[in-house]
Amino acid sequence: MNNDNEEMTSTEKFTGTMNVQEKLKFPEKKLQEYLSDTVPSFEGPLTVKEFKGGQSNPTYQLITPNKKYVLRRKPPGKLLPSAHAVDREYKVITALNSVNFAVPKTYCMCEDESIIGTIFFVMEMVDGRIIWDPTLPGSTPEIRKEIFTEKNRTLAELHNTNFEKIGLGDFGKPGNYFSRQISRWTKQYLASETQDIESMQALIEWLPSNIPGKDETSIVHGDYRIDNMVLHPTQSKVLAVLDWELSTLGHPLGDFTYHLMQWFMPDIANGAGTQSLSNANFKELGIPTAEEYIRMYCEKTNRKEIENIDFYLAYNFFRLAGILQGILGRVRDGTAASEHAEAQGDRVRPLADAGWEYAKRAGAI
């Protein structure tokens, strides 16, 4: 379990803004002119800062005398196929905002690469708290329970949203979600591979043939965790869910069990949003156990239980290992957005090993 000093370190590393890294700079005057012509009530002069926490799509704070905005862009340079789809982020956030789901308001999507060098979109800056340590240091047990309940409720609300009614019927291919995801992350892992990991190879072979039979489709966030949401400054309320790069139409249980991984995460090196709850004293902290959290989600989504949970955990450890290997690949290729990205490479093997342990619990030999 992380202590308060470690939480301060994570906050210093990942929260707030910094001067824009040289490799991620762009012509600010050209952006200001574009926004003045495109976004109602936008008025310069414009100051641009870079958010510290972004690992994949570079994210900037746009500061004007009257308002702050957020810009998300596709990173420059060599990229993996289908990655960094900021146009998809814009589409899902805009659609969810139309039914008052907790997302920022969007202002524009720019596919003209001549403005800043890559495509980008602009949305509102939602003021509130971003917390990096899932044990919520400094909170009371009552507040922790409220925040975990709110996180659970928000994800259930997303999965219960009728995606066709809000114009997202073409946001993904309904059905065969796990098969497609396993194929996608296998390809991206192999494209970014920097070391031979036996457990990862074993998962690549075992997972496709052991997918549970029952299929469902909902909007899935793809990276739902405490540091990808903005909490109210003083209340236990989720104001905005952020970072929709991995969102699609998919199986809600794949999404929920990804979020659930923190209860089962090996206690490995510090990293944004993926710290472990496995050694937490749940009763003392006021945090629900994994069983209690599953029951809360099932009640909100009209389920009796979650079957095949060992498969889902094996799949999600494999998937997260693939995501972090992709970050390491971008370090190799010089396109990683975060100055802390290289440290994520140390996490790939422990995640793959944990995934293979759950695969064995699910019957793998």
Last residue of a domain, one of 124, 155, 186: 124
Q: What is the pTM of this model?
A: 0.88
Query: pLDDT category, 78, cuts 50, 70, 90?
Result: low
* Cβ–Cβ under 8 Å, residues 250 and 177: yes
Q: Are residues 335 and 223 in the same domain?
A: yes
Q: Are residues 168 and 244 in the same domain?
A: yes
* Cβ–Cβ under 8 Å, residues 320 and 258: yes
* Cβ–Cβ under 8 Å, residues 328 and 345: yes
Q: Are residues 94 and 149 in the same domain?
A: no
Q: Are residues 175 and 120 in the same domain?
A: no
Structural domain contains residue 132: no
Structural domain contains residue 160: yes
Q: Which residues pair with 121 in a beta bridge?
A: 72, 109
Q: Are residues 52 and 201 in the same domain?
A: no
Q: Are residues 173 and 309 in the same domain?
A: yes
> What confidence tens digit (pLDDT) does each residue in 259-296 have?
999 999 987 644 444 568 988 999 999 999 999 999 99
Q: Are residues 120 and 151 in the same domain?
A: no
Q: What is the pLDDT of residue 299?
A: 98
Q: Are residues 56 and 150 in the same domain?
A: no
Query: For the ranges 5-9, 82-86, 140-144, 173-177, which has the lowest average pLDDT?
Result: 5-9
Q: What is the pLDDT of residue 175?
A: 87
d(CA 307, CA 91) in angstroms, rounded, equals 32
Q: Are residues 20 and 64 in the same domain?
A: yes
d(CA 207, CA 16) in angstroms, rounded, equals 39
Q: Are residues 260 and 228 in the same domain?
A: yes
Angle at 162 between CA 157 and CA 166, to 5 degrees: 110
Helices 252-260 and 309-333: angle between axes, nearest 10 degrees: 80
Last residue of a domain, one of 61, 93, 124: 124
Q: What are phi and psi of 216, to 5 degrees?
A: -145, 160
- Residue-number span of the structural domain to which 74 is assigned: 4-124
CA distances from 67 to 28, 58, 62, 70 (A): 17, 20, 8, 10
Structural domain contains residue 147: yes
What percentage of the chain reaches a pLDDT higher than 70? 87
> What confidence tens digit (pLDDT) does each residue in 211-266 have?
998 899 999 999 999 999 999 999 999 999 999 998 999 999 999 999 999 999 98
In this structure, what CATH number is given to the domain that contains residue 13? 3.30.200.20
CA distances from 54 to 218, 294, 303, 338, 350 (A): 26, 29, 35, 6, 23
d(CA 340, CA 353) in angstroms, rounded, equals 23
Q: Are residues 190 and 322 in the same domain?
A: yes
Residue 343 has pLDDT above 90, yes or no: no
Residue 297 has pLDDT above 90, yes or no: yes
Last residue of a domain, one of 124, 154, 187: 124
> What confidence tens digit (pLDDT) does each residue in 149-194 have?
999 999 999 999 999 999 999 999 888 999 999 999 999 899 988 8
SS3 content of the chain, % helix, strand, coil (to 5): 45, 10, 45
Q: Are residues 119 and 150 in the same domain?
A: no
Structural domain contains residue 21: yes
Indicate the number of domains in the chain.
2
